[in-house]
Amino acid sequence: MYFAIVAIDRPGATDVRTSTRPAHREYLGTPHPGVTYRLGGPLLAPDGATMIGSLIVIEAPDLVTAERFSAGDPYRKADLFAEVSVRPWDWGSGNPDKG
């Protein structure tokens, strides 16, 4: 099952995002039991450049596993986000697994 993790940064937390980004990227590239990282990237402000949040799509067997993965992200541990949602997602259009 796919899960979309959508997180919005706390206002004024750009320095936290910048300093934690290498650890966050390493976390996404590390294998996690029961989780397959599929895609992700920063959400942007209307200027198209300022990072204001994150969108990550993972594959996991259940919501508990997906939430555990999200909770382990260095961005979350550094308290970067004002809000985070982890929701089941039906990847229809563009899904490479649905030929």
Given this model, what pLDDT does residue 99 score? 66
Domain ranges in the chain are: 2-89
Higher pLDDT, 8 or 95: 8
- Name the 3-class secondary structure at 35: strand
Tens of pLDDT along 14-48? 999 999 999 999 999 999 999 999 999 999 999 99
Residue pair 10/83 in contact by the 8 Å Cβ criterion: no
Q: Within a 10 A sphere around the Cβ of 67, how many other Cβ atoms? A: 15
Cα gap 32→56, rounded to integer Å: 14
Could you tell me the CATH superfamily of domain 2-89?
Answer: Dimeric alpha+beta barrel (3.30.70.1060)
Residue 89 zone, left/alpha/beta (φ > 0; ψ -120 to 50; rest): beta
pTM equals 0.94
